Amino acid sequence: MLMLFFPSFNYLPTPLFGSNDAGKEETVASYAKAVRRAAPAVVNVYTRSTLVDPRSLRPRTIERQELGSGVVMSAQGYILTNYHVVYGADHIEIALQDGRWLEAVLIGQDELTDLAVLYVQAENLPVIPQDTALDPQVGDVVLAIGNPLNLGQTITQGIISANGNTGLSSRGYIDFMRMDAAINRGNSGGALVNSNGTLVGINAAAFQLESQDIQGIFFAIPYQLALNVMQKLIKHGKVTRSHLGVSGDAVVNAAGDKLISSGQPLYGLSITAINDNGPAAEAGLQTGDIILAIDERRFDTVQQALNMIAETAPNTSLTLTINRSGQQLTINAVTRELRR
């Protein structure tokens, strides 16, 4: 007798173009939950500035209006936006999505990271979801929320294409997070969130070259960096960064061979240049020295080493462990405030 056995499948694929089951709602991909969590905390920012018109033969003032977005970071009324949105503003107002208009006070600003902190006095402010342990990855889906062209709150979607520097040694756009969620005029200072609605970054700008039509490269300040800067601006009114006056390359051995693959273990930072009269020069560091540790702490990347220095208070003595021509030494160098 011939017996036939048919395997039992517990998984049935979802139809791509509809279902034959009448009355059953199709499952659709949606970020509506993320938008509901994050969007109420993204505000519209309006600024006015009074300027003297240099083209007029008679002195007269003109009023300049700027448009941007902002993100409510705390129930106490602190809002993050971009430096370039509020720079030089005489009057700042924010509009919440619930219809409230509030006058804002500028607490502090940091040109290097293109960030500014505003303060408003109000109750029941919607606060953007945040996770200080968040570790965004290249390829993560992100949503940019803002008020482009003053058309009203708009959501654009993309992915993270490159992670940014989260330390204070950030050099502006070159170290920012890159993604392809569209940023237009008015989006600046808005929120970049993940598919859960958690803040990933503060939208900054689009990459533009006058001679080329470049699409799909947009910038955001990473959340950890933005939070760090915000806390310093609230506490001190400005952001101070330290430096030693050195530059260098990542190397993989005592011979000074450069790191060429992300899979290679880092040996240290080989000093290639030293600023005259800078802290490193005063401490006796030399080109060719390889920094192995800072205050007995190893680092995994050159950027991490620069962040460790930048985030140290000015006039602090750092113990540098170095390799000089095969000999391990310790040298003390006093950090100095980096001034633009």
For residues 42 and 81, is the Cβ–Cβ distance under 8 A?
Answer: no
Give the span between the Cα atoms of 36 and 49, in whole angstroms: 34
**Pick from 243, 256, 237: nearest CA to 316:** 243
- State how far the Cα of 92 lies from the Cα of 46, in Å rounded to an integer: 6
Would you say 120 and 127 are in contact if contact means Cβ atoms under 8 Å apart? no
Q: Which residues are identified as catalytic?
A: 84, 114, 188
| Residue given tokens 């030399």 in the structure block | 286
Taking the C-alpha atoms of residue 41 and residue 129, their distance in angstroms, rounded to an integer, is: 9
Residue 174, both tokens: 């070159």
Question: Token match 């708009």: residue?
Answer: 154
Q: Which one-letter amino acid corresponds to residue 218?
A: F
Q: Cα–Cα distance between 93 and 174 in angstroms, integer?
A: 30
- Structure tokens given for 31: 């970020």
The two structure tokens encoding residue 302: 């050159």
What is the separation of C-alpha 184 from the centre of its chain, rounded to a whole number of angstroms?
17
